[in-house]
Amino acid sequence: MLTVVGSIALDTTRTPFHTVERTLGGTATFSSISASKYVPTSIVGIVGHDFPTSYLELLKNLLDIRGLRISEQEKTFYFDSSFGYDLSKRTTNKTELNVISNYQLTIPDEYIDSEYVYLANNDPVQNMNVLDLFSKPKLIMCDTMDFWIMNKRDEVIKLMNKVDGIILNESEAKLLFKESNIFKCARLLNSNGRVFAVINKGENGSLLFYDNEFYPLPAYPTEIIKDPTGAGDSFGGAFMGYLSQQGKIDSRTLKNAMAHGNIMGSFAIEDYGIDKLVKISSDDIKKRHEKYKEILSF
Ligand code: AMP
């Protein structure tokens, strides 16, 4: 069983072409929907009293939501960000933690023996507390972002020391280690007994470091880019979803997981919020996977 823990948010996203307000977002949302294309997925998170019922219904139709809590006292986590014409650079306008800063996450008994746990970007203390509730996961992966690296760096490091794999985007990895060389960052992420590290480079693809080898993979070249929000989470969800579907860890499986991460990331950016992720079928994923393989063979 795969359980995804993270933020469930209302996002306002501004691009020069369009603005979406208070749409369904959050790291657990993107990553669990993406993972659910590979295996049944459970989501753990907390929303507030302002969370629309239609979003709850949507999540319920795609995921196991027994681990989703609703606070009657607080508002949902809110994230407001903008992109300029360079859609690879995001500016955060507002982060309102609301319910995620004051609530202790719990998991239903049915999730305790989850074999795969993905701690998506979230308060590292929350994520560490939830991690303690699982009996003995086979594989734990985590993600984080600049907000937590700047506000709770020590806790981010502590969390990283409890996981088997880390996925980070390029600028965050560089910020975390105060290091400009991406290969050095990957090595550092892979230290302390961790099995693998993945660095996401957006439109420049991704880099896997496993068993002392680097495996770079270019991004899937989609020509439609509407909203890059959630691309990293969709990558992470697909990566974990694929690994739990395969049930093994070796370089071939990890490289394939990375390909699926790139594919789901490419779908995510083709529409606003989760719209595209929700619409695509396993056939769409299969076709894109075939095309991706074809363009990468030489
Ligand atoms: P990304 O894959 O990096 O584009 O992640 C985008 C998602 O991260 C958005 O849907 C936000 O709601 C969520 N998010 C933004 N800031 C934070 C934060 N500090 N903690 C947890 N989630 C966040």
DSSP string for 136-192: --SEEEEE--HHHHHH-HHHHHHHHTT-SEEEEEHHHHHHHHT---HHHHHHHHT-T
Query: Who lines ligand 1 at CB under 6 A?
Result: 7, 9, 11, 25-27, 79, 95, 121-122, 145, 147, 229-233
pLDDT score recorded for residue 104: 86
The model's pTM: 0.97
pLDDT band at 298 (very low <50, low <70, confident <90, very high): confident
What spacing in Å lies between the alpha carbon of 160 and ligand 1's midpoint? 18
pLDDT band at 94 (very low <50, low <70, confident <90, very high): very high
For residue 261, pLDDT over 90 is answered with yes
Return the residue whose CA atom lies nearest to atom 5 of ligand 1.
230
- Over range 219-226, report the average pLDDT: 94
Cβ partners under 8 Å of residue 252, min gap 6: none
Q: CA 98, CA 75: separation in Å to the nearest integer?
A: 6
Return the residue whose CA atom lies nearest to atom 9 of ligand 1.
26
pLDDT score recorded for residue 86: 87
pLDDT in tens, 5-36: 999 999 999 999 999 999 999 999 999 999 99
For residue 185, pLDDT over 90 is answered with yes
Q: Report the chain's mean pLDDT, rounded to a whole number.
A: 96
pLDDT score recorded for residue 88: 81
For residue 222, pLDDT over 90 is answered with yes
Return the residue whose CA atom lies nearest to atom 11 of ligand 1.
26
For residue 211, pLDDT over 90 is answered with yes
For residue 171, pLDDT over 90 is answered with yes
Return the residue whose CA atom lies nearest to atom 1 of ligand 1.
230
Return the residue whose CA atom lies nearest to atom 18 of ligand 1.
122
User: If DSSP codes are grouped into helix, strand and coil, which group holds residue 20?
Assistant: strand
pLDDT band at 217 (very low <50, low <70, confident <90, very high): very high
pLDDT band at 203 (very low <50, low <70, confident <90, very high): confident
For residue 213, pLDDT over 90 is answered with yes
Q: CA 34, CA 147: separation in Å to the nearest integer?
A: 23
- Over range 35-40, report the average pLDDT: 98
Q: Are 160 and 35 in contact (CB under 8 A)?
A: no
What spacing in Å lies between the alpha carbon of 184 and ligand 1's midpoint? 25
* From 32, 46, 79, 276, mutation site for ligand 1 pocket: most ligand atoms within 8 A of C-beta: 79
What spacing in Å lies between the alpha carbon of 122 and ligand 1's midpoint? 8
pLDDT band at 89 (very low <50, low <70, confident <90, very high): confident
Cβ partners under 8 Å of residue 49, min gap 6: 70, 71, 72, 73, 74, 75
Return the residue whose CA atom lies nearest to atom 15 of ligand 1.
79
Q: Are 49 and 74 in contact (CB under 8 A)?
A: yes
Q: What percentage of residues in the chain have a pLDDT greater than 90?
A: 94
pLDDT band at 102 (very low <50, low <70, confident <90, very high): confident
* From 4, 5, 7, 235, mutation site for ligand 1 pocket: most ligand atoms within 8 A of C-beta: 7
pLDDT band at 293 (very low <50, low <70, confident <90, very high): very high
The tokens of 96 are what?
């309102």
3-state secondary structure 256-290: HHHHHHHHHHHHHCCCCCCHHHHHCCHHHHHHHHH
The upper half-sphere exposure of residue 170, i.e. CA atoms within 13 Å in the direction of its Cβ, equals 15
pLDDT score recorded for residue 125: 95
- Over range 131-159, report the average pLDDT: 96
pLDDT score recorded for residue 107: 96
Return the residue whose CA atom lies nearest to atom 13 of ligand 1.
26
* From 15, 121, 144, 266, mutation site for ligand 1 pocket: most ligand atoms within 8 A of C-beta: 121
Looking at the CA of residue 25, tell me the nearest atom of ligand 1.
10
Instruction: Give the Cα-Cα-Cα angle 253, 256, 262 (nearest 5 degrees).
Output: 145
Looking at the CA of residue 228, tell me the nearest atom of ligand 1.
4
Q: What percentage of residues in the chain have a pLDDT greater than 70?
A: 100
